[in-house]
Amino acid sequence: MIELNEEMAQIERDLVRKNQLLALAQSQLVQTEKMASIGQLAAGVAHEINNPIGFVYSNLTSLEGYLRDLFSALDACARGEEATRLEALWQELDLDFLRQDIPLLLGESRTGIARVKDIVQNLRDFAHIDGDSNWQWETLPRCLDSTLEVLRGAISGKIEIVREYGETPEIECQPSQLNQAFMNILLNAAQSIEGKGVIRVRTGQEGEQVRVEISDSGSGIAPDILPRIFEPCFTTRPVGTGTGLGLSAAFNIIAQHQGRIAAESTPGKGTLVRIRLPIRRQAHD
């Protein structure tokens, strides 16, 4: 009897150790998936920021040359050059053109800086830096818009994003978590599209619930694979290109929000992911 108890105790210790190792491995996989998502996000954001910064830099270079010409004209005036010489200098430096182009360059530069500011604000909204993991009230369109803006550079320019937002109330949620779920689903949709395609995002309300539908015109999912797409570590992507935790993480986030997520797909035509979320959480006993 004593030997049996010792054997059972040893088995229990082995199970505890194995569970700990499994939890550690899962945590590492989740971290790997997050880093992969961050890598895609960073590349896209860098591209989005480089565009406006690029033409602001180009405009500043042009303005530097314009200022040199203007200072040359001012120096000529200060030296008291003859009117004929000043007129020739005016034509040589094309000061009429500078008068027209400088305001345009300044306007374009302000637009570029405003775009960078918007990107940073969208990143803040996406990560919800000013908040934390507390539950708060937010609208689905705002969560989706901040996510789509952050993903703009990561999603191919050949993919058209169609937003069809119905009227929805604010819901009790963790915005940064929902943003993460939406990002995983949208990235999955984008990766299923080769060449040109469309991702359609819809929202609406059904009684005490709100819905989000994200559909794509991608390659679709085979019927035998579809039931497994929300399983941890399941992926159809090549080895080394993902951990298969993106949709699983989205599933868990929606479940934490007391919602439901499901998918339907037709090979060769695309996939539709449906999400239902309660407007207000139900209190647990």
Lowest mean pLDDT among 49-53, 81-85, 281-285: 281-285
Walk across the sheet containing 260-266 and list its strands. 159-165, 197-206, 209-216, 270-278, 260-266
Distance, in Å, from the CA atom of 233 to the CA atom of 228, rounded to the nearest integer, reads 10
pLDDT at site 1: 61
What residues contact 244, with CB distance under 8 A and at least 6 apart? 33, 231, 232, 233, 234, 235, 237
- State which of 8-17, 39-48, 84-93, 206-215 shows the largest mean pLDDT: 206-215
pLDDT band at 184 (very low <50, low <70, confident <90, very high): confident
Share of the chain above pLDDT 70, in %: 78
pLDDT band at 250 (very low <50, low <70, confident <90, very high): confident
pLDDT at 83 over 70: yes
pLDDT at site 122: 65
Q: What is the pLDDT of residues 92-132, one digit of tens each?
A: 878 888 888 888 888 888 888 887 887 777 666 665 544 44
Provide the residue type at 233 as one letter: C
Lowest mean pLDDT among 2-11, 49-58, 132-141, 202-211: 2-11
Range list of H helices, 128-174: 140-150
pLDDT band at 204 (very low <50, low <70, confident <90, very high): very high
**Would strands 197-206 and 209-216 be described as parallel, antiparallel, or unpaired?**
antiparallel
| DSSP per-residue letters across 188-218 | HHHHT--SSEEEEEEEEEETTEEEEEEEE-S
Q: What is the pLDDT of residues 23-53, one digit of tens each?
A: 666 555 555 555 555 555 666 667 667 778 8
Q: Helix, strand, or coil here: 266? A: strand
pLDDT at site 240: 41
Q: What is the pLDDT of residues 220-248, one digit of tens each?
A: 988 888 888 887 665 655 544 444 457 88
**Would strands 159-165 and 260-266 be described as parallel, antiparallel, or unpaired?**
unpaired
pTM: 0.61
Q: What domains, with CATH codes, occur in the chain?
A: 1-127 (no CATH), 132-278 (3.30.565.10)
What would the two tokens of residue 19 be? 């569970």
